[in-house]
Every structure is written in structure tokens, then in C-alpha cells.
Amino acid sequence: MRDEPLVLGIETSCDETGVGIVRGHTLLADALASSVDQHARFGGVVPEVASRAHLEALVPTMQRALDEAGVTLADVDAIAVTSGPGLAGALLVGVAAAKGYALAAEKPIYGVNHLAAHVAVDTLEHGPLPEPAVAMLVSGGHSSLLLVDDLTAGVTPLGATIDDAAGEAFDKVARLLGLGFPGGPIIDRSARDGDRASIAFPRGLTAQKDLVAHRFDFSFSGLKTAVARWVESRERAGEPVPVADVSASFQEAVCDVLTAKAIDACRSNGVRTLVIGGGVAANSRLRVLAEERAARHGIAVRVPRPGLCTDNGAMVAALGSHLVAAGVAPSRLDLPADSAMGLTEVSVPG
Amino acid sequence: MLVLALDTATPASTAALVEVTPDGLSGIAERRTVDPRAHGERLAPEIAAVLADAGLRPRDLTAIVAGLGPGPFTGLRVGLATAASMGQALGIPTYGVCSLDGLGRAAGPGRVLIATDARRREVYFATYVDGVRVTGPEVARPADVAGLLYGAVGGALPAGLLIRPEDRSTATAAGKAAGTADGPAAGKADGTAAGQPETAVAGLVDRAAGEGALKYGDVFGVPVEEHLLYPPGAALVALAADRIRGVAPSEILTPLYLRRPDAVEPSARKPVLT
């Protein structure tokens, strides 16, 4: 059982209600319910709307996952749940439900780190992760570079965004271009017909002076404002806004900085493997640019398929499976939802 | 029939085990922690503790009863998510009851206002006659509760409680004279006919219970039952006793939110050029 534990994972840190089931590194089920449509008119995720949706979706999503995997709660070896970081009220729904399942079925519970789970999910597709590895997690809520020495013991943060997350920048730019929400897939599509070299948008925290204190950090707030200024100047001049060119040039600025810093992080740590996760990892330009640049330095890039890059229950189950296999002690029933959970903890200690 | 009752609609996290028999019910164990920010941490260990206290296991449960609120959303959802997941895992029915009804039923005979803290200087409230709800649940500023109760009168009046607005001053005076021998807990005289604050509910109810009634006792101007601040587990189970005995279909536990999410649709883009 220890080598191939059957683990159930619950994810509710943002707007996706996910329940995944894995046996060892094999994905058995990945059920998902999303409240994204309810947030669209607000131009971003509304925490209370997300929390309400989680409560409604949890039981049916769990049932779908169990049916898909052909197992019952009595069969599982452990229940893992995202303990943080994320939206406090949203996390709490998943944590409370996970405790209910663990209590009722008399199973151990693991409160796990959402970011570490984004890394762990890659093992479901690409097998064991060579360690150390560098992980870049880019989503609507996070933009982080991590050094992964041991996925079950601890992860070292190398850098993170100092203002907006990368996905947030996509959302905001999509909105100012009148393209809709969520911005990532829309900008990606719009950029296909544009010239990514047509507008020179700024690359945040890449100047020599910034590299001293912020070598592996990101900043996307200035970029978003630069796009807004550029678009507004055009409008004021009565000229049409070339939406595809703006999309492509903005996307290039984001992907350029992300991949340059990720490769730098690999090289400076002597790491040969880069894992990319989070919703922005689904971006087509990010994947191409990362592969190109990594290849030049003999670095292997691992990116899970898009469905596993965005938030889901499978990633939580995958990390839980690693923890069980490594003999890590489970968390206790009083484990908190921790919206600012740090990366020094991969799971909440028992 | 062994029933687990859960409530997180107030600052209290409550877990109780209650035995339901064909003609009655008896409390077996109850745990409660009062901390408005710790429902997520406290509730599950309490459930484990009441089961351990009774020497029982989760599989011994027949049904789960959960307080649906109203209450502050984040804490409220902890109880409902826990109840729903346990019910699903155990394959047993879950039943929802209004958390204020638990207090109203426990308050017993007479005319009672139940109020709990809704934060933002508001209360969730409902009124009861002999343990049965006659108005509410609603959410309002404490000072507006009296007016809402009088205003709610409209046409059909539940017997024993509601009165028409024109009867208000008479009833207020009568309520003060007859209903509250010990006098209102507080309330500054402001020149109304009966010397009650405009916000007093003395004409409508004899007393109040719930932590919101304690917090805003001076506004309501009726005696507060300080021993009855949070919904007792046994009262919640009593409210669902018929459903439990009749093995009624399991219910989806939908919170009584009473308020919509705070969310504002974005306005037009703000210019960045000056």
C-alpha cells in the first residue's frame, strides 16, 4: 500500500472545486466544477461567490470522482486537501469537507501546500521528478520560482511577483482591450494574429539595478499600466487599436521575463529540469519560448497538459500520494486553512 | 437512533450527540468552543471528542442535523461542509434546520426575540411564540428590528405576536406593564408614550435570547436570557425529530445567507493618461 497509496485530493483555493484520485503516480479520476462563469461580469474572482459555489459543488464533485475511479471512500488510504495559500473562505470549505470525509471514513488527512501540489502533478504525466528541479508556477494568483530539493520535505522559494500575478496581468489587459474574462486563453488566441515585436512593452525587474535585489522576482503591474497608456494614447488620437498586436506584444513581454528568469534560476542553481505549472503554463507562447531557451542550455522543460496546469484535485492527490509514500506524518483534525501558507511547509505538520 | 448535530452559525462551534427514540430524545454529549474565527479548526476535533466521550464511532450515526444559519458566511459554511461530507461518506441523511429556531425552541414558552450577531452592526433575528417561529429570519440593524416587526404586521398576523402599527403605543405600554415585571434591561427614555426607546421590542416580545440580543440588549429593551446565547444541539435535533424518525430523504444543506455577496461590477476603465 505504501508504494502505491490510493489518495484522494480536494482543491478549493480559488474558483475551481476539484476532487482527484490517484493510486501511486497513476491518475484515476479528476473531477472539476468551476465557478468561472459567475465571476466573468466582475472581471475577476469574487471570493464570496467562489466560496458559495464550492459548498454547492463539493458533494457532487466528490461523487463524480469516486464513480470515475470506481472506488469508495472506505478504499482510500488518505485524504489530502489544499490548506493554502489561496482565498481564505474558499480554502475553508475544502478543508472542512476534507475533515468531514476523513472523520467519517476514519482516514488520515494531509493539509498540503497548493504551490507544491502544482509541482507534484507533473509526476502523474512525466514520472518521478529529478531533484533538484526548478519549478515556475504562474497563475491568476501566483507567480513563483521555486527550488525543489525534495517535494515531500520542503521547497525553497527563489522569487515571486512583487505586485500582480502573471495571470492577473492577462486578465487586466484582456479587460482593457474589451476581450472578456479570463484573460489568459483570450489573449493567447488574439495574439496569434498579431506581431509580438510591434510594440516594445517594458520587462519588469530586468534592469541591472533591479537584478541585485530582485533577480528571481517578477513585476507585472507596470507592464499592465504601460499597455493601458499605449491603448489610451491611440484612442485619444482617434486611431484604431490593433488588438492582435497589443495582445502579442504584451504576451511576449510576460513570457520573455518569465522564461528568462526561470532559465537563469536553473543555471545559477546547476539544475537541469524546469517544471512549469499554473494556469499561465497553458499559454502557447510561454511553452515555445521556454523550450527554445532551455534547449540552448541543456535544460529539460516539463509542462503538464493544460487540464493539469490549472487548479484541480489531481494535483492535491498527487502530492498527498508522495507524502504517504515518503512516510510523512498526517496533519491533525485541527489543521487550519492558511491563506498565506508559506512554502517551507509542504504539508501541515501533525 | 444516534444523531450528530452541528452548528457554526454563531461564534460558537457546536457538536452534539443526541439519541432520538420513538417518543423523545436525550442528549448524550456536547462540545462547544466560542471563537468567531476558529470554526474551521475547532469543529472537527469536537466531533471526534463527542464520539470518543460516548465510546462510539462515526459508523454508529443514523443522521446528521446541521444549523443552516443565518450566520456569518465563512464560519457557517464550515458546519455545513462538514455535515454534508460526513453524511455522504457515511451514506446517512442530512437535515437542515434554521439555527435561530434552535435558540427559539430552547427558549420555551412565551414571546421571544432571538437575535445573533450578523457583524457590520447588524443582527440576524426571528421571533417565536412558545418555541415556534412567527417572523423572520431576517437581517437588520438592531435599531430597526422593532420597526421591522411592527411593519411586518401588514395583513395576516400570527396569533399572539404581531400587532398593527396603530396599536403600537398601547401594546408597548402594555408590554412594559405586564410582560416585564423586572423592567427592561436598559433603554433610555426618549419621550415615547411608554418611556421605551423607539427601538424597544417590548410590545412584541417578553424577552430575548441569543448572543446578538445580549450585545444589543440596550437597544431592544427587553430582558435577555444570558444562559441561552448559542443554539443547543439537542434543540436542533428536536426540530428535525419527525424527519429523523420518518427517515425522510436527505436534504441538500443550503445556507440561509440572507445577504448577497459584496461584489461590484467594474465601472468603466479609469484613464491612466493625465
**A222 known member of a binding site:** no
* pLDDT recorded at residue B28: 97
Place of cell 473562505: A89
Distances A194 to A284, A293, B126 between C-alpha atoms, Å: 14, 22, 60
**A141 known member of a binding site:** yes
Closest CB to B265 among A41, A62, A232: A41
> Is B81–A52 a contact, with Cβ atoms under 8 angstroms apart?
no
What mean pLDDT is predicted for residues A133-160? Answer: 93
CATH ID of A6-121+312-325, from 1.10.3720.10, 3.40.1440.10, 3.40.50.10800, 3.30.420.40: 3.30.420.40
Binning pLDDT at 50, 70 and 90, where does residue A342 land? confident
* pLDDT recorded at residue B109: 96
What mean pLDDT is predicted for residues A256-264? Answer: 98
pLDDT tens string A110-127: 999 999 999 999 999 999
> Is A101–B45 a contact, with Cβ atoms under 8 angstroms apart?
no
- A29 pLDDT exceeds 50? yes
> Is A103–B86 a contact, with Cβ atoms under 8 angstroms apart?
yes
Mutate to test the interface with A, among B59, B88, B90 (most CBs of A within 10 A): B88
* pLDDT recorded at residue B149: 79
In angstroms, the CA A71 to CA A60 distance is 15
User: CATH class for domain A129-304?
Assistant: alpha beta
Which of B130, B127, B128, B132 is CA-nearest to residue B109?
B130
Closest CB to B266 among A43, A56, A335: A43
Per CB-CB distance under 8 Å, the chain B contacts of A98 are: 85
> Is B85–A236 a contact, with Cβ atoms under 8 angstroms apart?
no
Give yes or no for a cis peptide into B165 (omega within 30° of 0): no
> Is A92–B77 a contact, with Cβ atoms under 8 angstroms apart?
yes
pLDDT tens string B85-104: 999 999 999 999 999 999 99
Distances A162 to A166, A216, A220, B99 between C-alpha atoms, Å: 11, 10, 8, 43
**A188 known member of a binding site:** yes
Closest CB to A106 among B58, B261, B266: B58
Same fold, A6-121+312-325 and A129-304: yes
**A283 known member of a binding site:** yes
Place of cell 474558483: A15
Delineate the domains of chain B, giving CATH numbers in brackets: 2-100+231-246 (3.30.420.40)
- B162 pLDDT exceeds 80? no
**A338 known member of a binding site:** no
Q: Can you give the pTM of this predicted structure?
A: 0.90
In angstroms, the CA A19 to CA B65 distance is 25
Q: Grid coordinates representing A271?
A: 539544475
Residue of B nearest to A42 (CA): B265
- B200 pLDDT exceeds 90? no
> Is B78–A59 a contact, with Cβ atoms under 8 angstroms apart?
no
> Is A334–B82 a contact, with Cβ atoms under 8 angstroms apart?
no
Angle subtended at Cα A129 by Cα A124 and Cα A132, rounded to the nearest 5 degrees:
155
Closest CB to B89 among A95, A101, A336: A101
> Is A88–B44 a contact, with Cβ atoms under 8 angstroms apart?
no
* pLDDT recorded at residue B195: 52
Which of B170, B176, B180, B161 is CA-nearest to residue B223?
B180
Segments making up each domain of chain A, as ranges: 6-121+312-325, 129-304
Per CB-CB distance under 8 Å, the chain B contacts of A43 are: 265-266
- A328 pLDDT exceeds 60? yes
Closest CB to B261 among A41, A48, A56: A48
**A311 known member of a binding site:** yes
Is residue B201 a contact partner of residue B113, using CB atoms and an 8 Å limit? yes
Which of A206, A203, A213 is CA-nearest to residue A255?
A203
Lowest mean pLDDT among A27-36, A228-237, B148-157, B243-252: B148-157
What mean pLDDT is predicted for residues B250-255? Answer: 98
Query: What's the DSSP call for residue A163?
Result: S
- B124 pLDDT exceeds 50? yes
Binning pLDDT at 50, 70 and 90, where does residue A3 land? low
Average pLDDT, chain A: 95
What mean pLDDT is predicted for residues A22-45? Answer: 93
Binning pLDDT at 50, 70 and 90, where does residue B190 land? very low
* pLDDT recorded at residue B152: 58
Terminal Cα distance for chain A, rounded: 21
In angstroms, the CA A293 to CA B154 distance is 74
* pLDDT recorded at residue B166: 44
Give yes or no for a cis peptide into A330 (omega within 30° of 0): no
- B267 pLDDT exceeds 90? no
* pLDDT recorded at residue A2: 52
Coil/strand/helix, residue B156: coil
